């Protein structure tokens, strides 16, 4: 590709890619900010509804407590109850007073109140009273109309225009006339709205006065006498006091159920006279009024949709249309099933749960239109940027032609030098970067002829070095052959076959590292006594093989009558007398005689014993220094075995195996792996399980150290 084309493409890419990145970032950051703002607003509205529910609950509880403290004569009349209940009366359909004819003599009032009997049908003479509360008169509130807002805005704009100093007399007079007309229209609209508002206030006062008059008439009327077969009511008034009927009891049960679903409790309080419990009042709550108050009225934009869901799955919204919209978005189904509400496209949903009732309260706000507008704005910005880039490309093309003309001169000179013409020189026409490049090119051509001889000398030196490298490779291959011979010699020191014993099942496994390792194991069987030894020589290579040879020689003369600790002590002394330098050998020796294991160790990892009876793994660790070091005193321990028990002798290569992130297996994982493997049917199955585990941990590559297992299963 020519440089001119590359320059044009580079300019295009360097302009388009940053533009696309900026537009994309701006879109996503604006979207996150918008969603975050809507989310905070939804959370705020949800908390408002939570506070409304808590305020209604507290208000009802407080008002009902005050009602329960009224004298029974006053409470029965109903007017005092309506007065005390105040605004809370709008949430109460009626209040039931249930007298107690045979009070419980129990002196503890807490027991009487904590477990009231559920409502049930009863004889008419034992029924209490029902006080139906009237709807409270609605006091109108003055609010500025839309027409008033428009006129106020218009007057404000005209006032700003009138305040400009550069207006001429004619324009100022026109604006003044428009301002006077707008002010007169505003006075007319305000006067009309004021007249309507005063009319509404007079109607509200009339309703309030009628209700108070009815309450005073109810107070003056005689108390109703109980009649078994008919409902007893006061004079016809907004407050109705009557006896409880079976229909009232059924209605109270339904009201109590709905109240429990919304508030998580019933609203009832005991009534006492002279300190004695004489009855109980229970408020029948209007769930529709409570839900309507909790969800609140529509806001200015009316876009959000508040909702509530009780424990029985009843879904509440302000209007049926809002319920249908949320059902189309599967929000009720998601809330019932406890699913997330954060992945609904184009909507922000916030919800909370009332801790007392379990009522789920939430708000759903649409953001889809705003997101679409953001996306359209981002597209317009990108199109505008592309237009500016296209305009810039018109100037880049002639500039690239001018630059590439001088570059072509340099390219032609380079081709002539490549063909062997070291006398080529370039004309220097400018002092810019290309002129400096031409000067440097000329100096390079002069230096090439001088350096050509040096290159020939360096080539001869390189060939000599290459020859030396080949000689080193041959030497390395020779040493590798020697190491392989040493490894084979080490393996030849191991037993060719396993001992056969009717009381023990024996299996072994060993895998060496890439170099000559130092792991060693051997057996000795005399008079039904099986001796097992396993060791690990320090280091690798020929020295490790030498130490294995020494131990093999010493163990070949071992007598099972000699205690394992004594053998290790004697071997340590003999190795010291050999003066093998820094070479040492870690070794464990175990003697199995019938059902007893006698064990001694010189610096080897612990021997693991799995009990078939308890399925537990015991770790037998004996602290001592390897053979050939300073120490020569070794401990000895006896372990009782039972049928089915499994003994594992191992080298440190297994717990020190590395995985692909250079993490060691460790002794804790070794115990777990052996505990799982010991469930195998025989010793070979135990070995196979351990080998499989090591392959999963380390992989199929050669281990970082020799790995050796000797497994003995007690038959």
Query: In this model, does residue 428 exceed pLDDT 70?
Result: no
What mean pLDDT comes out for the span 62-82? Answer: 62
DSSP for 380-418, written as a single string = HHHHHHHHHHHHHHHHHHHHHHHHHHHHHHHHHHHHHHH
More confident residue, 438 or 211: 438
Query: In this model, does residue 317 exceed pLDDT 50?
Result: yes
Q: Are 493 and 549 in contact (CB under 8 A)?
A: yes
Query: In this model, does residue 229 exceed pLDDT 70?
Result: no
Question: What is the pLDDT, as a whole number, of residue 105?
Answer: 44
What is the spatial distance between Cα 589 and Cα 110, in angstroms, rounded to a whole number? 78
Query: In this model, does residue 117 exceed pLDDT 50?
Result: no
| pLDDT per position as a tens digit, 75-92 | 444 555 666 666 677 788
Question: What is the residue whose two structure tokens read 């009319």?
Answer: 199
Query: In this model, does residue 114 exceed pLDDT 50?
Result: no
**How far is the CA of 351 from the CAs of 92, 264, 498, in angstroms?**
27, 18, 73
More confident residue, 124 or 615: 615
Q: Are 537 and 547 in contact (CB under 8 A)?
A: yes
Between 337-351, 393-407, 454-468, the lowest mean confidence (pLDDT) is in 393-407
Question: What is the pLDDT, as a whole number, of residue 531?
Answer: 95
Residue 331 tokens, joined: 């929000």
What is the spatial distance between Cα 637 and Cα 601, in angstroms, rounded to a whole number? 10
Across-strand partners of 271? 279
Query: In this model, does residue 655 exceed pLDDT 80?
Result: yes
Question: What is the pLDDT, as a whole number, of residue 72?
Answer: 56
With vertex at residue 130, the alpha carbon angle to CA 280 and CA 86, rounded to the nearest 5 degrees, is 85
Residue 460 tokens, joined: 């001869």
Sign of CA dihedral 668, 673, 679, 681: negative
| pLDDT per position as a tens digit, 253-284 | 777 788 888 888 888 888 766 556 778 888 88
Encode burial over 156-179: b for 16+ CB neighbours within 10 A, e otherwise: eebeeeeeeeeeeeeeeeebeebb
Q: What percent of the chain has pLDDT over 70?
A: 75
**How far is the CA of 12 from the CAs of 386, 392, 539, in angstroms?**
10, 9, 64
Query: In this model, does residue 664 exceed pLDDT 80?
Result: yes
Query: In this model, does residue 198 exceed pLDDT 80?
Result: no
| Nearest partner of 83 among 72, 96, 93, 70, judged by Cα | 70
DSSP state of 627: B
What is the spatial distance between Cα 71 and Cα 257, in angstroms, rounded to a whole number? 29
Q: Are 179 and 158 in contact (CB under 8 A)?
A: yes
What is the spatial distance between Cα 64 and Cα 83, in angstroms, rounded to a whole number? 12
**How far is the CA of 709 from the CAs of 213, 418, 507, 511, in angstroms?**
104, 67, 8, 9
| pLDDT per position as a tens digit, 232-258 | 333 334 556 666 677 767 777 777 788
Q: What percent of the chain has pLDDT over 90?
A: 18
What mean pLDDT comes out for the span 211-240? Answer: 46
More confident residue, 86 or 158: 158
Question: What is the pLDDT, as a whole number, of residue 103?
Answer: 47
Across-strand partners of 363? 306, 350
What is the spatial distance between Cα 294 and Cα 288, in angstroms, rounded to a whole number? 10
Query: In this model, does residue 222 exceed pLDDT 60?
Result: no
Q: Are 677 and 480 in contact (CB under 8 A)?
A: no
Query: In this model, does residue 290 exceed pLDDT 90?
Result: no
Question: What is the pLDDT, as a whole number, of residue 101?
Answer: 57
Question: What is the pLDDT, as a whole number, of residue 610?
Answer: 95
φ and ψ at residue 678, rounded to 5 degrees: -65, -10
Query: In this model, does residue 571 exceed pLDDT 70?
Result: yes
Residue 106 tokens, joined: 């129990």
What is the spatial distance between Cα 513 and Cα 518, in angstroms, rounded to a whole number? 10
**How far is the CA of 208 from the CAs of 134, 288, 654, in angstroms?**
11, 23, 93
φ and ψ at residue 365, rounded to 5 degrees: -125, 130
DSSP state of 136: P
More confident residue, 473 or 129: 473
DSSP for 352-380, written as a single string = EE-TTT--EEEEEEE-HHHHHHHHHHHHH
Between 40-44, 114-118, 387-391, 674-678, the lowest mean confidence (pLDDT) is in 114-118
Question: Which range among 106-115, 539-548, 589-598 has the greatest average pLDDT?
Answer: 589-598
What mean pLDDT comes out for the span 406-420? Answer: 73
What mean pLDDT comes out for the span 187-216? Answer: 70
Between 58-72, 111-125, 359-373, the lowest mean confidence (pLDDT) is in 111-125
Query: In this model, does residue 532 exceed pLDDT 70?
Result: yes
More confident residue, 133 or 198: 198
Between 184-198, 398-412, 448-462, the lowest mean confidence (pLDDT) is in 398-412
Q: How confident is the model at residue 684 (pLDDT cuts 50, 70, 90)?
A: very high
What is the average pLDDT score of the chain?
Answer: 77
Sign of CA dihedral 463, 468, 474, 476: negative
Question: What is the pLDDT, as a whole number, of residue 107?
Answer: 41
Question: What is the pLDDT, as a whole number, of residue 616?
Answer: 94
Q: Which long-range contacts (CB under 8 A, 24 or more apart) does 42-45 make?
A: 42/304, 42/348, 42/349, 42/350, 42/363, 42/364, 42/365, 43/350, 45/296, 45/304, 45/306, 45/350, 45/363
Please give the span between the terminal C-alpha atoms of the chain, in angstroms, as a whole number.
Answer: 81
- For the beta carbon of residue 106, count every other beta carbon within 10 angstroms: 10
Residue 384 tokens, joined: 């505008």
Encode burial over 480-489: b for 16+ CB neighbours within 10 A, e otherwise: eeebeebbee
């Amino acid at each position: 590709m020519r440089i001119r084309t590359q320059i044009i493409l580079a300019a295009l890419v360097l302009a388009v890619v940053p533009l696309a990145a900026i537009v994309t970032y701006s879109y996503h950051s604006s979207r996150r900010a918008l969603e975050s703002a809507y989310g905070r607003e939804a959370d705020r509205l949800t908390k408002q509804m939570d506070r409304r529910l808590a305020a209604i609950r507290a208000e009802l509880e407080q008002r009902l407590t005050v009602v329960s403290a009224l004298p029974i004569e006053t409470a029965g009349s109903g007017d005092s109850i309506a007065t005390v209940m105040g605004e809370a009366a709008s949430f109460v359909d009626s209040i039931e007073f249930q007298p107690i004819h045979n009070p419980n003599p129990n002196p503890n009032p807490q027991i009487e109140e904590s477990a009231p009997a559920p409502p049930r049908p009863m004889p008419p003479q034992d029924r209490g009273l029902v006080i139906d509360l009237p709807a409270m008169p609605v006091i109108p509130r003055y609010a500025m109309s839309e027409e008033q807002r428009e006129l106020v805005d218009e007057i404000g704009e005209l006032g700003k225009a009138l305040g400009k100093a550069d207006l001429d007399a004619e324009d100022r007079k026109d604006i003044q006339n428009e301002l006077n007309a707008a002010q007169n229209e505003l006075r007319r609209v305000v006067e009309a709205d004021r007249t309507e508002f005063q009319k509404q206030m007079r109607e509200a006062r009339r309703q309030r006065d009628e209700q108070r008059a009815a309450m005073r008439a109810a107070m003056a009327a005689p108390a109703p006498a109980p009649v078994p077969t008919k409902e007893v009511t006061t004079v016809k008034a907004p407050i109705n006091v009557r006896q409880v009927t079976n229909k009232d009891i059924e209605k109270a049960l339904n009201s109590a159920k709905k109240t429990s679903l919304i508030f998580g409790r019933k609203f009832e309080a005991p009534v006492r006279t002279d300190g004695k419990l004489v009855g109980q009042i229970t408020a029948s709550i209007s769930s529709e009024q409570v839900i309507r108050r909790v969800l609140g009225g529509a806001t200015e934009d009316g876009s959000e949709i508040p909702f509530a869901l009780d424990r029985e799955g009843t879904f509440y919204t302000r209007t049926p249309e809002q319920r249908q919209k949320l059902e189309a978005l599967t929000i009720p189904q998601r809330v019932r099933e406890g699913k997330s509400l954060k992945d609904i496209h184009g909507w922000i949903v916030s919800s909370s749960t009332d801790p007392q009732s379990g009522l789920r309260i939430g708000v759903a706000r649409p953001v889809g239109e705003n997101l679409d507008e953001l996306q359209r704005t981002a597209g317009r910005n990108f199109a505008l940027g592309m237009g500016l880039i296209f305009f810039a490309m018109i100037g880049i093309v002639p500039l690239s032609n001018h630059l590439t003309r001088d570059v072509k001169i340099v390219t032609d000179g380079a081709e002539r030098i490549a063909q062997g013409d070291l006398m080529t020189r370039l004309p220097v026409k400018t002092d810019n970067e290309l002129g400096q490049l031409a000067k440097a090119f000329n100096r390079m051509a002069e230096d090439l002829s001088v350096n050509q001889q040096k290159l020939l000398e360096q080539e001869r030196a390189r060939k000599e070095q290459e020859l030396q490298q080949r000689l080193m490779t041959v030497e390395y291959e020779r040493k590798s052959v020697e190491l392989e011979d040493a490894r084979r010699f080490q393996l030849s020191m191991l037993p060719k076959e396993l001992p056969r014993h009717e009381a023990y099942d024996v299996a072994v496994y060993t895998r060496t590292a890439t170099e000559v390792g130092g792991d060693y194991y051997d057996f000795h069987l005399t008079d039904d006594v099986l001796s097992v030894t396993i060791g690990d020589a320090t280091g690798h290579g020929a020295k490790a093989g030498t130490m294995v040879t020494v131990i093999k020689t010493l163990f070949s003369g071992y007598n099972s009558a000699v205690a394992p600790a004594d053998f290790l002590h004697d071997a340590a002394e003999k190795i010291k007398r050999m003066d093998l330098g820094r070479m040492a050998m870690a070794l464990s020796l175990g003697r199995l005689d019938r059902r007893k294991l006698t064990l001694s160790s010189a610096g080897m990892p612990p021997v693991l014993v799995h009990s078939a009876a308890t399925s537990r793994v015991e770790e037998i660790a004996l602290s001592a220094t390897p053979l050939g070091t300073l120490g020569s005193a070794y401990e000895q321990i006896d372990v009782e075995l039972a049928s089915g028990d499994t003994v594992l002798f191992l080298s440190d290569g297994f717990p020190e195996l590395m995985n692909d992130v250079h993490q060691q297996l460790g002794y804790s994982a070794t115990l777990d792996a052996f505990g799982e493997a010991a469930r195998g049917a025989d010793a070979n199955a135990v070995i196979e399980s351990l080998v499989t585990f090591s392959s999963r941990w380390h992989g199929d590559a050669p281990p970082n150290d020799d790995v050796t297992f000797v497994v003995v299963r007690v038959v």
